[in-house]
Amino acid sequence: MNHKECGSQTPHSGQAVVEFALVLPLFLALIVLLIQGALVGRDEIAVTHAARAAVREASVTADGAQIRIAATRALPGAHVRVVRRGAPGQPVEVIVTYVARTDLPIVGSLLPDLTLSAHAVMAVER
């Protein structure tokens, strides 16, 4: 009589469930890690956008408050530094930094927060 005839299960019938239970946490951690990477990538794009907005504003005004407002409109929490600003026709250079928080469950405590920065240069307008 084989196992099917007597109605009992094979000795390995629960092995797939146990393997799945062991692999599932690792798979979920990998998914969350990928999501965290995507969020950092999004923040990197936002920092670049904020630097461009700040340098556009800095090309028409020397007012530091207006330059900061332009950057924080694009990325709240951004820190703006005007490196140099020349006369009309000369370059204005801006650096924007931002701390990207890595606070997703599971992987957030394993990864440090990242400081992202972007640099932009544009000619000062009259």
Please give the residue that has the higher pLDDT: either 80 or 19. Answer: 80
- Which pLDDT does position 110 carry in this prediction? 83
Q: 74, 49 in Cβ contact below 8 A?
A: yes
H-type alpha helices, the chain: 3-6, 15-60, 64-74
Share of the chain above pLDDT 90, in %: 67
- Give the bridge partners for 118, in sequence order: 96
Q: Which of 65-74, 99-108, 110-119 has the lowest mean pLDDT?
A: 99-108
H or E segment at 84? strand 79-85
Q: Which of 21-25, 31-35, 106-110, 118-122 has the lowest mean pLDDT?
A: 106-110
Q: How large is the average pLDDT for residues 65-80?
A: 96
Evaluate if residue 53 carries a pLDDT over 70.
Answer: yes
Angle at 65 between CA 53 and CA 43, to 5 degrees: 40
- Which pLDDT does position 111 carry in this prediction? 86
Euclidean distance between CA atoms 122 and 106, whole angstroms: 42
